[in-house]
Chains A and B, each alone.
Chain A
Amino acid sequence: MYTSIPKGLTDLTLAIEKGTNAVISNKYNPFYYHGALPQFYLWVLFLSGLLLFAYYIPTIDNAYFSANLVNAWTSVDYITDKLPMGAVIRGIHRYAGDAMVITIVLHALRVWVTDRYRQYRWIQWVSGIVLLLMVLFIGQTGYYLVWDERSLVLTRMTVSAFDAIPWIGPGLKAWFLNGTAITNLTLSNFLFIHIGLSFSLLFGLWVHYVRMTRPVITPPPAINYMLMAALLVVVFAYPITSGKMADINTAPTSFDIDWFFLFPYWLMAKVDLTTYWVLMVGATVGLCLVPLPSLYKAANPIEAAEVVLSKCTGCSLCSKDCPYQAIEMVPAPAGSRFKLLATVKPYRCSGCGVCVGACAFDAIDLPNLLDTDVTAQIRAMAEAKPN
Chain B
Amino acid sequence: MSEQKVITLICERACDLDSVCNDKGEVKEVDGLHVVKLPCSGMIQPLMIEAAMKAGAAGVIVTGCQIGDCYYREGNRMIRERLLGQRPPGLKKTVDRQRVLALWLSRPQKDRFLSEAKEFVAFVRQLPTPPPAAAKPAAK
Encode A40-68 as 1/0 by CB contact (under 8 A) with B: 00000000000000000000000000000
Interface flag for B121 (CB, 8 Å) = no
Q: Mark B28-68, 1 if CB is under 8 A from A, else 0.
A: 00011010101110111111100110011100000000111
CA distance A386 to B30 in the complex (A): 12
Residue of A nearest to B105 (CB): A18
Knowing A357-B42, A382-B55, A386-B3 touch, does A375 contact B48 (C-beta < 8 A)? yes
Judging by beta carbons under 8 Å apart, are A378 and B48 in contact? yes
- 20 residue pairs from A and B, CB less than 8 Å apart: A14-B66, A14-B107, A26-B68, A31-B69, A214-B74, A323-B74, A354-B42, A357-B45, A360-B46, A374-B36, A375-B45, A378-B36, A378-B51, A378-B52, A378-B57, A379-B55, A381-B34, A382-B52, A384-B5, A386-B32
A26-B68, A354-B43 known, 7 other contacts, Cβ within 8 Å = A17-B69, A18-B66, A21-B68, A321-B78, A357-B79, A382-B55, A382-B56
Q: Is the CB of A381 within 8 A of B42?
A: no
Stretch at the interface among A176-184, A255-263, A331-339, A345-353: A345-353
Determine whether the beta carbon of B52 is less than 8 Å from that of A356: no
Chain A, range 362-385, C-beta contacts under 8 Å to B: 362, 366, 369, 371, 374-375, 377-379, 381-384
Flag whether A29 is at the interface (Cβ < 8 A).
Answer: yes
A11 within 8 A of B: yes
A18 touches B109 (CB 8 A): yes
Q: Which residues of chain A are within 8 angstroms of B38 by Cβ–Cβ distance?
A: 353, 369, 374
Beta-carbon contacts of B94-110 to A below 8 Å, as 1s and 0s? 00000000000011110
A386 & B31 in contact (Cβ 8 Å cutoff):
yes
Q: Report how far A358 CA is from B82 CA in the complex, Å.
A: 9
Instruction: Name the one of A10, A214, A321 contacting B107, with C-beta atoms under 8 angstroms.
Output: A10
Q: Which of A2, A213, A382 has the most CB of B within 10 A?
A: A382
* Known A356-B43, A360-B89, A371-B45; contact A381-B71, beta-carbon cutoff 8 A: no
Residues of B within 8 A of A383 (CB): 5, 55-56
Is A290 an interface position by the 8 A CB rule?
no
- Report the minimum CB–CB distance from A294 to chain B (whole Å): 22
Q: Which residues of B contact A31 (CB under 8 A)?
A: 68-69
Is B124 in contact with chain A by the CB < 8 A criterion?
no
Distance, CA A223 to CA B79, complexed state (A):
26
The answer to the question of B85 belonging to the interface, with a C-beta cut-off of 8 Å to chain A, is: no
Residues in A neighbouring B71, C-beta threshold 8 A: 114-116, 352
B17 within 8 A of partner (CB): no
The smallest beta-carbon distance between B60 and chain A, in angstroms, is 9
Q: Which of B3, B42, B56, B68 contacts A353 (CB 8 A)?
A: B42
CA distance A93 to B57 in the complex (A): 60
**Nearest 4 interchain pairs by C-beta:** A353-B43, A32-B68, A352-B72, A354-B42
Q: How many residues of A contact B (CB 8 A)?
A: 49
A to B contact number (C-beta, < 8 Å): 141
B13 within 8 A of A: yes
List, in ascending order, chain A residues with CB within 8 A of B42's CB: 321, 352-354, 357
Q: Complex Cα distance A378/B43, Å?
A: 14
Whether, in the assembled complex, A232 has its beta carbon less than 8 Å from a beta carbon of chain B, the answer is: no
Judge if B140 is at the interface, Cβ distance under 8 Å: no
Chain A residues contacting B69 (CB-CB under 8 Å) are: 14, 17, 31-32, 114
CA distance A356 to B44 in the complex (A): 7
Tell yes or no: A317 within 8 A of B by CB.
yes
With both chains docked as a complex, state the minimum distance between the C-beta of B104 and any C-beta of chain A, in angstroms: 8
A15 sits at the interface (CB 8 A): yes
Q: Is the CB of B39 within 8 A of A369?
A: yes
> In the docked arrangement, what's the CA distance between A382 and B1, Å?
13
Residues of B close to A116: CB separation below 8 A: 71
Given A26-B68, A382-B55: A351 touches B39 (CB 8 Å cut-off) = yes
A116 to B75, CA, bound (A): 14
On whether A317 and B88 interact (CB within 8 A), knowing A18-B106, A375-B51, the answer reads yes
The residues in B between 9 and 30 inclusive whose CB is less than 8 angstroms from any CB of A are 9, 12-13, 25
Known: A374-B48, A382-B5, A386-B3. A354 touches B32 (CB 8 A): no
Known: A18-B109, A21-B66, A384-B5. A354 touches B40 (CB 8 A): yes
Q: CB of A212 within 8 A of chain B?
A: yes
Contact present for A353 and B36 (CB under 8 Å): no
Which of B9, B52, B72, B74 sits near A379, CB closer than 8 Å?
B52
Residue numbers in A under 8 Å from B12 (CB-CB):
1
B77 to chain A, nearest CB (A): 10
Question: Which residue of chain B has its CB nearest to the CB of A354?
Answer: B42
> Quick one: which of A285-317 are within 8 Å of B by CB?
300, 317
Whether the Cβ atoms of B5 and A317 lie closer than 8 Å is no
A371 touches B78 (CB 8 A): no
Q: Which residues of A contact B48 (CB under 8 A)?
A: 371, 374-375, 378
